[in-house]
Amino acid sequence: MNLELPELPFAKEALEPHMSANTLDFHHGKHHRAYVVKGNELLADANTSADSLEELVKETAKTGGALFNNVGQHYNHSFFWNCLSASGGGAPSGDIAKKIDEAFGSYDKFKAEFIAGGMGQFGSGWVWLVSDGTTLKIAKSANAETPLTAGMTPILVCDVWEHAYYLDFQNRRPDFLSSFLDNLVNWDFANENLASA
């Protein structure tokens, strides 16, 4: 199996002013690319039977180490790019809106919990909206960890590593999380993930 750096599903300038082309040059063009390059180097010597990225993440998580770190980061970042949209943001519609109301009571309560989850992730990591059985919940993961390895289905994620926001927001992580939800979140992608959960 070979990892491939995905093309961004939008033009690099399309998310401005909420996420700059400069941030994407570093985040996608350097950070994500480095995980792909190193992951492929390590995969060359790995004995894996996985035939999908999701299977590879689960398989490498069993032993951890450098291969999992690079494969997990590749999966998480690839998922994150699809969680962004130039026409995104604001309250959701469709099935995801109903499930959020059921799980959290309202979109505003979900938003507060999602931001609190992102703020509560110490250091580098991710804040997720996941499907766990029949309900939605907020999950956090550090470094390359992912809800996939805990049997949950990722619906949505926001990257809270500093390289995701520092050029645009400096140390203001809560402002970045609010901007993600208010201006960028791709609810169409979330609805697709919910439908297949």
Same-domain check for residues 74 and 100: no
Tell me: do 124 and 33 sit in the same domain: no
| 151 in a structural domain | yes
Rounded Cα distance between 9 and 83, Å, is 10
Q: Domain check: are 25 and 105 in the same one?
A: no
Do 77 and 122 share a domain, yes or no? Answer: no
pLDDT number for residue 57? 96
Decide if 15 is inside a domain.
Answer: no
Distances (CA, A) of 155 to 18, 35, 37, 54, 140: 22, 22, 27, 14, 13
Q: Is residue 6 part of a domain?
A: no
User: pLDDT digits over 10-34, tens only?
Assistant: 999 999 999 999 999 999 999 999 9
Contact 84, 186 (CB under 8 A): yes
Quick one: pLDDT at residue 83?
98
**Mapping DSSP to helix (H, G, I), strand (E, B) and coil, where does residue 128 land?**
strand
Phi/psi at 98 (5° precision): -65, -45
Confidence check: pLDDT of 49 > 90: no
Distance CA 44, CA 125 (A): 27
| 53 domain-assigned | yes
**Whole-structure pTM value:** 0.96
Higher pLDDT, 25 or 122: 25
Count of structural domains within the chain: 2
pLDDT higher than threshold 90 for residue 123: no
Task: Tell me how far apart the 2 most distant CA atoms of the chain are, in Å.
Answer: 49
Residues 39 and 112 in one domain: no
Which one of 61, 82, 103 terminates a domain?
82
Kindly indicate the confidence band of residue 158, based on its pLDDT and cuts at 50, 70 and 90: very high
Does residue 197 register a pLDDT over 90?
A: no
78 HSE (CA, 13 A, CB side):
17
CA 163 to chain centroid, in Å, comes to 13
Domain of residue 145, CATH code: 3.55.40.20
Q: Residue 188 has which token pair?
A: 């169409």
Note whether residue 51 is domain-resident. yes
The answer as to whether 16 is a domain residue is no
Are 77 and 102 in the same domain? no
Can you give the pLDDT at residue 171? 94
Which residue segment(s) compose the domain that 100 sits in? 95-195
Is 126 inside any structural domain? yes
End of a domain among 60, 82, 104? 82
Let me know whether 115 and 67 are in one domain. Answer: no
* Residue 11 falls inside a structural domain: no
Residues in the chain, total? 197
Asked which of 35, 54, 82 is the last residue of a domain, the reply is 82
27: domain CATH number is 1.10.287.990
- Residues 123, 70 within the same domain: no
